[in-house]
Amino acid sequence: MNSHFTSRLEKIEAVLRSNLPESPYDGLWRAHSFGKTDAAVDTHHIAELVEPCNILVSSGGKRWRPLFAVLCAEAVSTHDANREELTARTYRVTPLIEFVHTASLIHDDIEDGADMRRGKPAVHISRGIDTALNAGSWLYFQAAACLQDFEPSLKAVLYDTFAMELRRLHLGQAMDICWHKDNGKLPSTKEYLAMTALKTGTLASLSARCGILLGGGSSQQADKTAEAAAAIGVGFQIRDDIINLTSGNVGKKRGDDIVEGKKSLPVLYHLEEHPEDFEKLAACFKQAAEEGIESAAVEKAITLIHTGTALQKASEKSKTLISDACKTIEKLYPGTEGASLIGELFSAM
């Protein structure tokens, strides 16, 4: 990642660590997160929530969503006399973005039956389903704790934004679950893109809205930037779909989308081009679900998808979505360093 981002990412990491600390947990953090608790509530009880989440937060992640929020704030506040203050307060809400993303990964791995995440056993594998479910659910709420000290009017707007995007995220996940549970059912490409705009695009939208609003921008600017951001999120999801069927996503195994029954865009494009392959792919999905990632059906399905132009077509769609969205943001905030760096951020990823 570009060296321009190093200092910004270091600040983001510091804020994340202070909002999700390691044991023994500072008294102020405890009070901020849980209020007054009985003396019988011990450190190891709190650890059942924090440690599973820290496993995932500390094991990697590009942090592009909170970085995107900061750059949005910089873009919209370029000519504001209070630019440094506006940008500084944006860093304070980066946990709202990154912790929601982390919580969604914990639950997503349970729902998909995924064993690995970021090169390590998924949280439900290492800590158990009960702990993973509870800790992931807690982290959704803990994410919003960073809003507590903002002035009431801004706090209300940010919380409403957070709650709306969170509801949209879960709607997208519901659509995805509906399709991957049924190997005989395929969404249309339009349905797939709508699902991805909710499931993946919504976190990019949350980042953009928070950044613009905290940077002093208007609700109209936030709406326009969030719309472009959602397209970026969709573009990155498509890219991940492609990587899953080629080199394999970092920290996961190549083709685990086949095992999980994911009807990704390359799969849909291939079946549009070769509808005669539907029964073959459906059989591969079924076999892979039964036998796991080592099943021969995984590579059989991948080989089939590689025979057409689906991967190339999906790649072009991903690049177009991201490029057009970045151009839109540059037009909204012309000549600003923030907008320029947003273009650099997404062109380098």
Residue 197 amino acid letter = A
Average pLDDT over residues 10-33: 93
pLDDT of 1 over the 80 cut: no
pLDDT of 166 over the 90 cut: yes
Average pLDDT over residues 109-123: 88
Q: Could you tell me which residues are beta bridge partners of residue 120? A: 117
pLDDT digits (tens, 9 = 90+) for 73-101: 999 999 888 999 999 999 999 999 999 99
Average pLDDT over residues 5-21: 95
Average pLDDT, the chain: 93
pLDDT of 24 over the 60 cut: yes
Domain ranges of the chain: 3-347
Residue 121 phi, psi (nearest 5): -60, 140
Helix axes 189-199, 201-214, angle to 10 degrees: 40
**The pTM is what?**
0.93
Residue 299 amino acid letter = E
pLDDT digits (tens, 9 = 90+) for 117-159: 988 899 999 999 999 999 999 999 999 999 999 999 999 999 9
DSSP reduced 3-state for 44: helix
Q: What is the DSSP letter of 36?
A: S
Q: What is the pLDDT of residue 199?
A: 94
Q: What is the pLDDT of residue 183?
A: 72
Average pLDDT over residues 178-192: 85
Average pLDDT over residues 211-223: 97
pLDDT digits (tens, 9 = 90+) for 240-297: 999 999 987 666 788 989 998 889 999 999 999 999 999 999 999 999 999 998 999 9
Q: What is the pLDDT of residue 254?
A: 87
pLDDT digits (tens, 9 = 90+) for 300-346: 999 999 999 999 999 999 999 999 999 999 999 999 999 999 999 99
Q: What is the pLDDT of residue 180?
A: 79
Residue 266 amino acid letter = P
Determine the CATH number of domain 3-347: 1.10.600.10
Residue 40 amino acid letter = A
